[in-house]
Structure 1
C-alpha cells in the first residue's frame, strides 16, 4: 500500500479554527442522494445510483459476510456478487425507510437476510459471470482482511463492518483530494497533507520538517494543510450525501466520521 492510500483517523481532520478562511477554490459538487436515486422512475438514473451504492458498500459487505457467516473467501465472493445482483434486480434498496434505521444498517441487515436465504437454496443453478457495471476487487479485499486483523475471525463482525464503512469513505476522500490537487497544480498541498496525516503517528513529521522537505516556509505548510483539510472534509461530506437519504441522516453520519465537533 502506498502512503497516500493510508486512511487518516477521523479525528485527525479538525474543523477550521476561528480566523481560518476559504481560499476561493471550488469544492466538490454536491451530488444527489443515491439512496433516493434508486427510486427514480428513470432506469438509467436508478442504475447510476445503484452503482454508487454498490461501490461504497461492496467491501464492507464482503468482509462482514466473511466474518459474520464464517465463510471461505470464495463463498463470500459469491454471496457478495449475488447479493448486489439481487438487490439491483429487485430494487431492494428502494425499500429503505430512514425512520427505522441508518442506510448502512439497512444494507447490512439485507445482506444477512440474503445470505441466510441463499444458503438454504444453493442447490439452485448459479448464474455465471460477475457484475459488468461495477468492479469488485475481492483479491485486494481479502489481502486487506488478513493484513489488518490477524485475529480477523475472532473479532465482532458488526464492528468490523462499521469500521470498514468509515475506512472506505475516508479512502475515497483521500483519493479525490489527491486527484483534485494534481489536477489543479497543487501537488505540494496534497504532499503536505500526506506527510502529516497519512504517516504513522509515531513517524509523523513536524511542521518544521515538512517545510524543510518541501522547500516552503512554516506559514506555507500551515496554509497548504488548511486548504487540504478543508477540501478533504468537503469530499467526505460529498460522499456522505450520496449514501444517505436526508440531511439529518447525513449530519448524524458526519458526526461519526468527523467527530462530535462537526
Structure 2
C-alpha cells in the first residue's frame, strides 16, 4: 500500500504523515519547494518527498504523483495570513480535489480520497440545518472569506460531482471542529452529523486526533466501509 498526502507540511498534514509512518505505510508527500518537514519525517524510509505546487502540476506530473497509490489524503488549507486568506490560489482545496479526481478518471485508476473538510460545511444529505442567524453568518463568511468558500466548494464537488456511484473514486470528508494542538492521541468521538453549532457552541478537535482518524480510515477496510461517501464529524471527548 502507498498513500499520497497533500498538504503534508501543514500542522495537520504532519500528524497524518506521522500516523502513517507509525503504521509502516509507504507515503508519498507533495510539498511546496520552500516547505520544511520535520527532520525525522524527511529521513524516514517510508516517506517519498515530491516538491511542487498541486495547482501547477501538469497532467503528466499528476499521473506520476498518483501512480501506484491507492489512497489520497488531502490536508490542504490556506495559511492564516492576509496573503494566505485573500491571495491566490483562492480555490486551492477545491481545485486540487477536482484535479486529482479528473486525473484518476482519465487513467481509470481506482483510489480512495480522504478530504479534511470543516464543520462549517452543512451536510444536507444527513438532514443538517442551521438557524436563521447561522445561515446569515455562513453566507457572510462565504462572501468575505475565500478559504471558507473554497472548503464548501471542495465538499460540494464530492457530493454533487462524484456522488456515491463513481466507479473510480470513493471518498470520505472528515470534518473536525475547532482545531487545537495536543501532543498525544486522546479519546475522540466520531458522529455522522453535527451535534453542536460550529458558530455558537464550538467543540474542539486535536490535530493529532484528526491525523489518527484519517490514518485509520486509510488502512482499516471495515472503518472505510462504515464512512465511505459520508462526512463524519470528529470531536475530542
**TM-score bucket of the superposed structures, by smaller chain:** under 0.3
Which of structures 1 and 2 has the larger relative contact order (alpha carbons within 8 angstroms, sep 6+)? 1
Q: TM-score scaled to structure 1, two decimals? A: 0.25
TM-score by length of 2: 0.27
Report the structure, 1 or 2, having the larger strand content: 2
Instruction: Please identify the structure whose Cα radius of gyration is greater.
Output: 1
